[in-house]
Amino acid sequence: MPLYDKPLSELVVYRPELTREADFEDYWERTLAESAQAPLNAALERVPYPALGCTVYQVHYDGWRGARVCAWYLAPDGPGPFPGLVQYHGYSGSKQDVFSYLPWVLQGYAIMAVDVRGQSGDSSDPQHYPGGHVRGWMTQGVTDPESYYFRGVYVDCVRALDWLCSRPEVDASHLGVMGMSQGGGLTLAVAALDRRPVLAMPEMPYLCHFRRAVDMAVRPPYLEIPDYLRRWPQREETVWRTLSYCDNMNLAPWITCPVLMTVGLQDDICPPSSVYAAYNRIDAPKEMRVYPYHNHEMAQAHWETKLAWAHHYLKGLDTLPV
């Protein structure tokens, strides 16, 4: 196997210093307090879909400062209560097709799949971002933590839990969050910022240890950050300060629920050391599934493990391997 990043023996103990600013906690307390004051203004529309045993809906709700967030919601037939799951998608992607979520409904979960604001799904982004940016979303608003793009994204994703908990057929005491890549990063952020998830399953997460990721990544989207700094080198200190507020390495110590994570040791988009920098800061029950021969790709063998963890933590079944 070609050695791309640190050897595994070093990754498992890799624990760089946090880059939190002095007002890090206050920043997120203020952000969440403001969000809590805003109504969801939710709308629910049934979607005709040829699947037996469930009902499919399209959901809209208000996110951070005027964003209108769109999601799929699939509920098993029957009164419930059902454990709930929220799925977050990868960078530049969308909530994908309804069919992708039928296996979870078949297993007795109510599942919500959220479109990230302004990316290729149906969620809007009305924010004004000062200072210019390069392609993509990594540098939108990066001159000020108050206006940074991912601040709004993280809040939108937390508010998905608000909507899911409002559903009478959902057991709000048994909620899980999950996603791959950007979706994995959003999973970590939500688990850190909210106590309602009792399980987080991030896969090869993005948005972790930005400085290391920029040094190591071979392919976008982390490369958007050095592209921006080549254009505005005088803003470097400001950029790193802004990014620190949304770095999951800094948020990870706040996570209290069990975490099942994956890493690909040949991942040149989300470098293994950036993933471990966040993982090694989690003090909750956790497990890292290591895929030595995977680049930045879904590990199909991981589906069985996810099901076992979901059944154990969300349904109370004895499904974890000994």
What's the CA angle centered on 122, arms 124 and 300, to 5 degrees?
125
Give 211's pLDDT tier (boundaries 50, 70, 90): very high
How far, in Å, CA of 319 to CA of 36, rounded? Answer: 36
Please report which confidence band the pLDDT of residue 193 belongs to, taking 50, 70 and 90 as the band edges. very high
| pLDDT tens digits along 145-166 | 999 999 999 999 999 999 999 9
Q: Which residue has the tokens 């090694």?
A: 280
Q: For position 131, what pLDDT does the model report?
A: 83
Token digits of residue 204: 């090869």
pLDDT for 322: 54
Q: pTM score, two decimals?
A: 0.98
Which residue, 61, 171, 179, 69, is CA-closest to 110?
A: 171
Give 17-68 pLDDT, tens digit per residue: 999 999 999 999 999 999 999 999 999 999 999 999 999 999 999 999 999 9
User: Which among 233, 210, 205 is positioned nearest to 16, based on CA atoms?
Assistant: 210
Q: What is the pLDDT of residue 121?
A: 97
Give pLDDT, residue 2: 59
Domains of the chain plus CATH, in order, are 8-312 (3.40.50.1820)
The pLDDT of residue 216: 95
pLDDT tens digits, one per residue of 91-117 = 999 999 999 999 999 999 999 999 999
- Strands 82-88 vs 110-114: parallel, antiparallel or unpaired: parallel
Distances (CA, A) of 90 to 71, 181, 206, 226, 315: 14, 5, 9, 21, 27
pLDDT band for position 319 (cuts 50, 70, 90): confident
Amino acid residing at 24:
F
Contact present, 277 and 270 (Cβ < 8 Å)? no
For residue 1, pLDDT over 70 is answered with no
Please give the order of strands across the beta sheet that includes 43-46.
43-46, 54-62, 68-76, 110-114, 82-88, 170-180, 197-203, 259-264, 286-291
The one-character DSSP state at 287 is: E
pLDDT beyond 60 at 86: yes
Between CA 64 and CA 272 the distance in angstroms is 31
Q: Which residues are catalytic?
A: 181, 267, 296
Q: Is the dihedral of CA 218, 222, 227, 229 positive or negative?
A: negative
Q: In this structure, what token pair is assigned to residue 1?
A: 């196997």
pLDDT for 150 equals: 98
d(CA 279, CA 298): 18
Mean pLDDT, residues 296-312: 96
> How far, in Å, CA of 206 to CA of 94, rounded?
16
Residue with structure tokens 């989300």? 270
Q: How confident is the model at residue 3 (pLDDT cuts 50, 70, 90)?
A: confident
Which bin fits 3, alpha (ψ -120 to 50), beta or left (φ > 0)?
Answer: beta
